[in-house]
A and B are shown apart, each in its own frame.
Chain A
Amino acid sequence: MPPSRDGEEASGVSRRTFLKTAGAGAAASSLLGAAPPGQPPRILGPDAVTLDFKVNGVLRSVSVEPRVTLLRALRNQLDLTGAKEVCDRGGCGACTVLLDGEPVCSCLMLAVDAAGHEITTVEGLGTPEKLSPLQAAFVECDALQCGFCTPGFVVAGTAFLRQNPNPSLAEVKHGLSGNLCRCGTYPRIFEAVQKAAKAPAKGAKRG
């Protein structure tokens, strides 16, 4: 075994931290606007920075290190724990949120990159007392078992239905293919999405 493995870890900089920090630097420049020609881009961090973004319609301010992902900022700073950290690398969709209406894996995005944008989490789509049509269909069709993947599917499904209000089964499968469920609830998730597609909007937000 090459001894370098522990040596690399002991250096305090893992490849991932490096990439995230580098990403933060790039993000910061875009956030603050392109640097004037001939000047280096401004670098954020490593200390915490204050960011503002709109979450579920409310302006929120968080103080996070630039390397912190949007997912962790939502969960650990704002206590919005609907989006889940499952694979932490974009493989399962459990952390899906809407960024300006588009579904994104919040584990793959730095919080600094979300500054100034409008974020909708599963908590913003409905409440237990007033479920969105898709949320209501999930409950009715038993499109959940342990429920840990459910917020990700609900957010992804909401975005999908906005794009394709009357999908075929094949389109639903394709549209949700970024999300994983380990309990094996897929057929009932498809059923719920198709049911919500047919449900009248009732003045509630579509999906």
Chain B
Amino acid sequence: MSAEAPRESDPTTTPHQSKAGHASAPQTIEVKMAAGDLAPWDLDTRFRVVKGREPRLEGPAKVTGRARYTLDVNQPGMLWAKMVRASVPAAAILKLDTSKAEALPGVKAVWTTEARIVRFAGQDLAAIAAASLEIAEDAARLVVVEYDERPFVTDLDHAMDVGAPLVYAADEAPGPKGVPRSGNVLGPMPPRRGGSRGDIEKGFAEAEVTVEGTYSVAVHTHASLEPHCVVAKWDGDDLTVWASTQGVFTVREGLAEALGIERTRITVITEHMGGGFGSKLAPSAAGSAFAVVACKLAKQAGAPVKLSLDRREEHLCTGNAPSARMTVRLGAKRDGTLTAMHHRAFGSAGIAGGAGSGGPIAALYTGCPHLKVEEHDVFTNAGPAAPLRAPGHPQGAFALESAMDELAEKLGIDPLELRRKNESHPVRKIQYDAGAQAIGWERRNKKAGDTPGVRRRGIGMANGNWYVFARDRGVGAEVKIHRDGGIELFSGAQDIGGGFRTAMAMVAAEELGVKPSDIVVRVGNTRYPEGPGSGGSTTTNSVAPAVRLAAHEARQKLFDLAAGLLKAKPEALDATGGRIFVIASPSRSITIRQAAARMPGETIACVGERKPQFEIYRGDLAGTQFAEVEVDIETGEVRIVKMVSVNDCGLPVNRLTAESQVIGAMIQGASWALLENRILDRNFGTMVNPNLESYKILAPADMFEVVPILTEVANLGNNTSTAGLGEPPIVPTLAAIANAIYNASGARVRSLPITPDKVLAALAEARRRA
């Protein structure tokens, strides 16, 4: 935890004593709120709604198929569009002929790229809008492309070779300026937060034991079930876009810029969103300008256009989690005290940058005095990466936490004890006990693989980290009370499946003394108050404080109306169960509806504006995970038996949906650890498995027992003490499973996904060494 001074830009501040931290070790801290902000919810706050378990408000619409996702939006006279993509990984485009496509009856508009160079198989080339999807697909097949094919490289190792084909000429590569570049390799990158510290040579000189391993992770694609999709509709100069996006405002701003029109002309709507995991943070997508293209086609055709990518395109051009090859070296004293940590990594984000994986080593075990992080991006002729659920962190934690296990083995120390010994985060210290108890840590094999039979069980664990990010400027929310007692809540931010809509209703309901279901929540629309893109685990903690302020003001105004009827001062009132009552005499009460009927106009509208983070008490988000697996030592098959995730998310608003996110992160991580692998054909440069039957994701039959544990921490970062949760629980998963496999079988697999062949090879290696 760090104590920081309030920002100088804060106008005036009000000091307030608050009880911070975890209930087992509370700290009283003076918080200085910005003018107009409320004192933060803390450990002493008694909640009526918040921290409860509220089924999501849109549940009935979703389970009956009534919820309209972007893919489900149909407009009168709407055309259907299909894109044409490069079928080769590197080429100059000699000819792009759409004349046959244009001549096909039913085709209404055609777009072609201005680009003349192809850098990955899947790049945008052309698009067709037609009267039906089938006609658009037919027309797309009539587009003739002639290429001058060029040498290419699709795998990380070969891309690093001297003389490998260059993905970018020297002056064309993306990425920060002034970074050393050699061939396709860019780096080391400038230090990230936490960076390097001390003197790594000194640290290893002080070490009594060292371990070193190289760990690699394959490319994982987001594989969101709803594809990237927009419906674009022009009405004169005004443009309405339904978008499957994690950021309606990002889409609005990106389209305004690309189309050269003002933001005021554009409305972006995302009522329901079918999964993004980071791939839907761009105005269009990481490797496709499809949303801009749809708007252009709609303009050209004079009709609304729906443009959805198909499953193959989802894998090729909408982003992925970069591959990584990480060499981690750790030095420690015989008692386990870390003296040095070194992370040297190369990763490929395809044609994009951003393949760093040093986040966890820079943020965990901060007591270790000597740390060096060297990150390199390697360009390959493959679709660009996009943020994916804690970008770079699951990869980095896989390397670091596998290495920690190897260090524990070499030292002869229990892996959990080694972590405890080096732990500097007060919350994770609490989490170790909760997790160890839930998994039954004492049941693990004292010696790896030392258990009879063919199917051997074992237990492992790993740590992860994430940060408290929030957008604390320019975020708003509006609460409207209608004369008939109806309550509406507006936030422009979108609900991507994390339960944002319901959580915001709970925050407003807490202030207003009603049930969350009494509130009509309207989200995902650029006409509503500004909200953040849903990335970095920021949506709840960026918007909830503004919702609380708006609802609090509406409460005050209702109390002013009720005061006359109840013959009491407004400050003597409270509200619960839809009634406003006198605190000293609860039987004196009226309904909110009765109070609302007294309003002078037809509505009371209150807008709350997010105030700056308090920056008084704050820690990174701690997390730890435990896994139990069963390894068949004859077939190499791994079955996960149970996983426990212990996570800090500040104060959880809705435990039900918060737990769902934790469960989901473990499952996506498990899928990454054991199954997922984007395979590019080395000879053709195209993806071999761009589908959902050979790009495997975890299915019902693979499922295991899951235990989500939330460690509540009043972090006082904002007036609701909320923090993020979407990303952190996937960070430790890959390593926890790898470590459990080792404990079960003695197979140390340093390459993901952990497929049966790798387990058998590692078992053979272990036997050779024994």
Spell out A's residues near B (CB within 8 Å).
1, 5-6, 9-12, 14, 17, 65, 67-68, 72, 75-76, 79-92, 94, 121-123, 125-129, 131, 135, 138-140, 142, 144-151, 154, 172-174, 176-177, 179-190
Cβ 8 A contact of A148, one of B226, B661, B665, B697: B226
Q: Which 4 A-B pairs have the closest CB atoms?
A: A82-B65, A184-B667, A146-B497, A148-B274
B722 CB to nearest A CB, Å: 18
Q: Which of B62, B71, B137, B668 contacts A144 (CB 8 A)?
A: B62
How far is the CB of B165 from the nearest CB of chain A, in Å?
Answer: 14
Question: Are B55 and A94 interface neighbours, CB within 8 A?
Answer: no
User: Is B145's CB within 8 Å of the partner chain A?
Assistant: yes
In the bound complex, do residue A145 and residue B661 qualify as a contact, i.e. CB atoms below 8 Å apart? yes
With an 8 A cutoff between CB atoms, is B87 at the interface? yes
Q: Check A79 against B310 for contact (C-beta < 8 Å).
A: no
Query: How far is B132's CA from A68's CA once the two chains are assembled, in angstroms?
Result: 11
Q: How far is the CB of B24 from chain A (nearest CB, A)?
A: 28
Flag if B700 contacts A176 (CB, 8 Å).
yes
Q: Would you mind naming 21 contact pairs between A and B with Cβ atoms under 8 Å apart?
A: A10-B100, A10-B144, A12-B138, A67-B134, A68-B134, A79-B74, A81-B71, A81-B74, A84-B225, A123-B65, A128-B66, A139-B56, A139-B59, A147-B62, A173-B700, A180-B225, A180-B697, A183-B497, A184-B671, A185-B660, A188-B660
Contact B56 A146 (CB under 8 A): no
Q: Tell me whether B8 is interfacial, beta carbon within 8 Å.
A: no
- In contact, B65 and A1 (Cβ under 8 angstroms): no
* Other-chain residue from B65, B74, B137, B691 in contact with A91 (beta carbon distance below 8 A): B691
Contacting residues, chain B, for A10 (C-beta < 8 A) = 100, 141-144
Does B701 count as interface, using CB distance less than 8 angstroms?
Answer: yes
Chain B 239-285 residues near chain A, CB threshold 8 A: 272-275, 277
Q: Please tell me if B692 contacts chain A, counting CB pairs below 8 Å.
A: yes
Main SS of the interface on chain A? loop
Asked if B499 contacts A145 (CB within 8 A), the reply is yes
Residues of A within 8 A of B659 (CB): 142
A146 contacts B144, CB within 8 Å?
no
Cα-based distance from A139 to B66 in the complex (angstroms): 14
Contacts of A125 in B (CB 8 A): 64
**Bound complex: CA A152 to CA B617 (Å):** 45
Q: How far is the CA of A186 from the CA of B55 in the complex (A)?
A: 16
- CB <8 Å contact, A131 and B311: no
Known contacts: A6-B145, A142-B657, A174-B701. The answer to whether A88 contacts B63 by CB under 8 A is: no
Residues of chain A contacted by B665 (CB below 8 angstroms): 184
Residue of A nearest to B498 (CB): A145
In the complex, are the beta carbons of A188 and B663 less than 8 A apart? yes
Residue in A5, A88, A148 whose Cβ sees the most chain B Cβ within 10 Å: A148
A97 to B265, CA, bound (A): 40
**Is B706 in contact with chain A by the CB < 8 A criterion?**
yes
The verdict on A177 contacting B699 (CB below 8 Å), with A86-B311, A145-B664 known, is yes
Bound-state CA distance A20–B311 (Å) is 18
Measured CB to CB, the closest approach of chain A to B127, in angstroms, equals 15
| Nearest Cβ on chain B to A99's Cβ, whole angstroms | 17
- Given A125-B64, A139-B56, A185-B664; A85-B71 close (CB under 8 Å): yes
Inter-chain contact B661/A189, CB cutoff 8 Å: no
Interface-centre pick from B64, B223, B684 (highest chain A CB count, 10 A): B64
| Contacts A85-B71, A173-B701; A65 near B61 (Cβ below 8 A) | no
- Considering only CB atoms, which chain A residue lies closest to B496 in the complex? A146
Q: Is the Cβ of B62 less than 8 Å from the Cβ of A150?
A: yes
Bound Cα distance from A148 to B68, whole angstroms: 10
* Residues from chain B with Cβ under 8 Å of A5 in the complex: 87
| Chain B residues positioned under 8 Å from A146 (CB to CB) | 224-226, 272-275, 496-497
Chain B residues with a Cβ under 8 A of chain A: 55-56, 58-69, 71-72, 74, 80, 87-88, 100, 132-134, 137-138, 141-146, 149, 223-227, 272-275, 277, 310-311, 496-499, 656-657, 659-661, 663-668, 671, 684, 691-693, 697-701, 703, 705-706
* Contact between A9 and B141, CB atoms less than 8 A apart: yes
Least Cβ distance of A33 to chain B in Å?
27
Kindly state the separation between the CA atoms of A75 and B274 in the bound complex, as whole angstroms: 16
Q: Determine the chain A residues whose CB is within 8 A of the CB of B498 once the complex forms.
A: 145
Find out whether the CB atom of B703 lies under 8 angstroms from the CB atom of A183: no
Q: How far is the CB of B231 from chain A (nearest CB, A)?
A: 12
A86 near B692: Cβ-Cβ < 8 Å: yes
Whether B56 and A144, one on each chain, are in contact in the complex, defined by CB atoms closer than 8 angstroms, is: yes
Q: Measured between C-beta atoms, what is the minimum distance from A11 to chain B in Å?
A: 8
Shortest CB-to-CB span from A80 to chain B, Å, is 8
By a CB distance below 8 angstroms, the chain B residues around A151 are: 63, 65
Q: Given the interface contacts A85-B71, A146-B497, A188-B663, does A12 sit within 8 Å of B142 by beta carbon?
A: yes
> Which of the residues A82, A83, A145 comes within 8 Å of B660, measured between beta carbons?
A145
Complexed CA–CA distance, A120 and B557 (Å): 49
**A93 to B310, alpha carbons, bound, how many Å?**
16
Point out the residues of chain B lying under 8 angstroms from A72, CB to CB. Answer: 133
Shortest beta-carbon distance from A64 to chain B in Å: 9
List, in ascending order, chain B residues with CB within 8 A of A122's CB. 63-65
**Chain A residues positioned under 8 Å from B61 (CB to CB):** 128
**Most-contacted residue by chain A among B56, B72, B137 (CB, 10 A):** B72
Interface contact A87-B692, CB-CB below 8 Å: yes
Do A126 and B88 have beta carbons less than 8 Å apart? no
A139 lies within 8 A of B60 (CB):
yes
Q: Which residues of B contact A80 (CB under 8 A)?
A: 65
Tell me the minimal C-beta distance from B457 to chain A in angstroms.
18
On whether A6 and B87 interact (CB within 8 A), knowing A81-B65, A185-B664, the answer reads: yes
B700–A123 CB distance below 8 A: no
CB distance from A115 to the nearest CB of B (A): 18
Residues of A within 8 A of B223 (CB): 182
* A183-B133 contact, Cβ under 8 Å, with A87-B691, A138-B59, A177-B699: no
Closest chain B CB from A111 CB (angstroms)? 12
Given contacts A76-B133, A148-B275, contact A87 B311 (CB under 8 A): yes
Contact A82 to B64, CB < 8 A, known contacts A14-B141, A184-B663: yes
Contacts A87-B693, A89-B693 known; A81 to B72 CB distance under 8 Å?
yes
Bound complex: CA of A79 vs CA of B149, how far in Å?
44
Distance in Å: Cβ of A83 to nearest Cβ of chain B: 7
Cα A81 to Cα B78 with chains together (Å): 15
Asked if B701 and A177 make an inter-chain contact with CB atoms under 8 angstroms apart, the answer reads: yes
* Contact B141–A88 (Cβ < 8 Å): no
Given A86-B692, A146-B275, 19 other A-B residues pairs in contact with their CB atoms under 8 A: A6-B145, A10-B143, A11-B141, A12-B142, A80-B65, A87-B691, A131-B64, A138-B63, A144-B62, A147-B58, A147-B274, A148-B225, A173-B700, A182-B223, A183-B275, A185-B664, A187-B663, A188-B660, A188-B663
**Residues of the B chain whose Cβ atoms lie less than 8 Å from the Cβ of A135:** 60, 63-64
Give the one of A184, A189, A190 with max B CB within 10 A.
A184
Which residue of A12, A142, A188 contacts B141 across the interface (Cβ within 8 Å)?
Answer: A12
Q: Is the CB of B664 within 8 A of A91?
A: no
- Chain A residues with CB below 8 A from B273, complex form: 146
Residues of B within 8 A of A123 (CB): 64-66
The docked-state distance in angstroms from the alpha carbon of A200 to that of B203 is 66
Closest CB of chain A to B84's CB: distance in Å?
Answer: 9
Distance in angstroms between the alpha carbons of A72 and B63 in the assembled complex: 20
